[in-house]
Amino acid sequence: MRVTAWMLAGLLAPAAAQTLPPPPPEPAMGALLRQIKPEAMKTQIAALAAFGTRHTASETTSETRGIGAARRWIEAQWRACAKDTPLQVGTRSHIEPVGRRIAAPTEIVNVVATLPGKDPKRLIVVSGHYDSRNADVMDASGDAPGANDDASGTVAVMQLACAMARSKKPFDATILFAAVAGEEQGLLGAAQLAKELDVDGQLVEAMITNDIIGSSRGAKGEYAPLRVRLFADGLDPLLRLALRGATPPHPRLAAQQQLAAAGGADDLPAAQLGRHLASAAERYLPGFQVDLIARRDRTLRGGDHLPFLERGLAAVRFTEPFENYANQHQNVRLVDGKPAGDLLEFVDFEYLARVTKANLAGLATLAWAPAPPAGVQIDASELSNDTRLRWQAVNGAAGYRVVWRRSEAARWEFAKDFGAEARDALIAGVSRDDWVFGVQALGADGHASLAVYAPPVSGR
């Protein structure tokens, strides 16, 4: 057998470190997860579907039909949870002018619930869109129950807010739960939300959208009750900007272009968020699998994470394993004598509860962890087969973790922990030429922040 450099590196790595530990045991997690109940989610999706249509331009004065009734109902449901919890509920609205999918100026209302953390400047956002559509995206009056697209994501976010607001263990980061409108008309509510939240003095550290998460079955009989897809890639907006050429990119994206050029194309913030969510879900939901997809979304399609992603923020999308296009964006009707359309009966509530729990595990562990470190670098000022890293201190961090993986591996593989005083580390025998490195901040209870890619720099 020929001994390759790769095999040698594989032999050397474990000697220098340990394999990446899973997220720590968390006594508070069980009680959190147990609050997510399929029956309650079914009741709420049935209520949303019963508004007939939730088209963004549908009527707003009726109490029983249209998007106005739907958003008032969502707000009322959250207000009920806010009675005995710190949840803060409200609406944010703006008037969207006439556009490609907006026939007349239309009020777009996002319903939001905020769970204040110890640090009001660190924001974690999770969304679903409560607007719906049928085959004609401009049909504001025909039935569009939208049970899966996206009452499933909306109800997930509604349940997450109520469950996390009742957590016995407080969160460090502030979590903003959003039921947004205007998705089907061009991501209008999410774009407005991104603009409002991405302001000086606070940072959206992570954003997750849940869109079409209610079915474990495909049209051809495929069945995957223990899997979900997670679209997590930050490189795509950079490539699109480069192709478009004209507009100057957001300053954060310009910085990420540098990072990508320095070997970090697979390590932009969205990818780190994807890795975090996958490992948390798989740790706290044994048997459940997150299929990490290094793409911004499904082919030629989009979702509410994109306005955040295009600002260079860590934003990702959960979607069920097989979309059933016979029911999605369809009119409610009979096909060969069988009902078709986005109906309640096609939602798998046990599955939806599982995906909601996957969100919960990822959100809670991230909100319990410190902020990710800044100034992460590999010191490449000298030629060496060891790797020297440095980073800046993080408020409240109890330690730091250097993580690394093979250049073609999707997830972090090895780790070495350092104390709260450490600002640099030497990983002996693991070459920066062969491995990808990142650094995380650790909380006192072992929860790790998002990893930050370490680009090589030639001097201080």
Q: Which residues of the chain form contacts with Zn ion (CB under 5 A)?
A: 149-150, 211
Cβ nearer to Zn ion, comparing 96 with 150: 150
One-letter amino acid at 13 equals: A
CB of 327 to Zn ion, least distance (A): 12
Cβ nearer to Zn ion, comparing 83 with 100: 100
CB of 42 to Zn ion, least distance (A): 19
Residue (of 277, 280, 454) closest to 379 by Cα position: 454
Tokens representing 23?
């997220």
456 and 377 in contact (C-beta within 8 Å)? yes
Cβ nearer to Zn ion, comparing 26 with 149: 149
CB of 307 to Zn ion, least distance (A): 14
Q: CA-to-CA distance for 99 and 72, rounded, in angstroms?
A: 25
> Kindly report the CA angle at 312 between 307 and 316, in degrees rounded to 5?
60
Question: Does residue 150 have a cis peptide bond before it, meaning omega lies within 30 degrees of 0?
Answer: yes
Q: Please report the DSSP string for 75-96 in residue order.
A: HHHHHHHHTTSS-EEEEEEEEE
Cβ nearer to Zn ion, comparing 167 with 210: 210
Alpha helices in 166-230 (DSSP H): 188-197
Q: CA-to-CA distance for 228 and 230, rounded, in angstroms?
A: 7
Q: CA-to-CA distance for 196 and 190, rounded, in angstroms?
A: 10
One-letter amino acid at 315 equals: A
Cβ nearer to Zn ion, comparing 75 with 149: 149
CB of 133 to Zn ion, least distance (A): 9
Cβ nearer to Zn ion, comparing 133 with 447: 133
Cβ nearer to Zn ion, comparing 119 with 211: 211
Q: CA-to-CA distance for 354 and 156, rounded, in angstroms?
A: 10
Question: Which helix (H) or strand (E) element contains residue 237?
Answer: helix 235-244
CB of 142 to Zn ion, least distance (A): 17
Residue (of 38, 59, 189) closest to 111 by Cα position: 189
Neighbours of 236 (CB within 10 A): 18
CB of 59 to Zn ion, least distance (A): 21
Helix, strand, coil shares of the chain, percent, nearest 5, are 30, 25, 45
CB of 360 to Zn ion, least distance (A): 21
Cβ nearer to Zn ion, comparing 149 with 205: 149
Cβ nearer to Zn ion, comparing 149 with 297: 149
One-letter amino acid at 441 equals: A
CB of 254 to Zn ion, least distance (A): 30
CB of 215 to Zn ion, least distance (A): 13
Which residue do the tokens 């409108």 mark?
A: 181
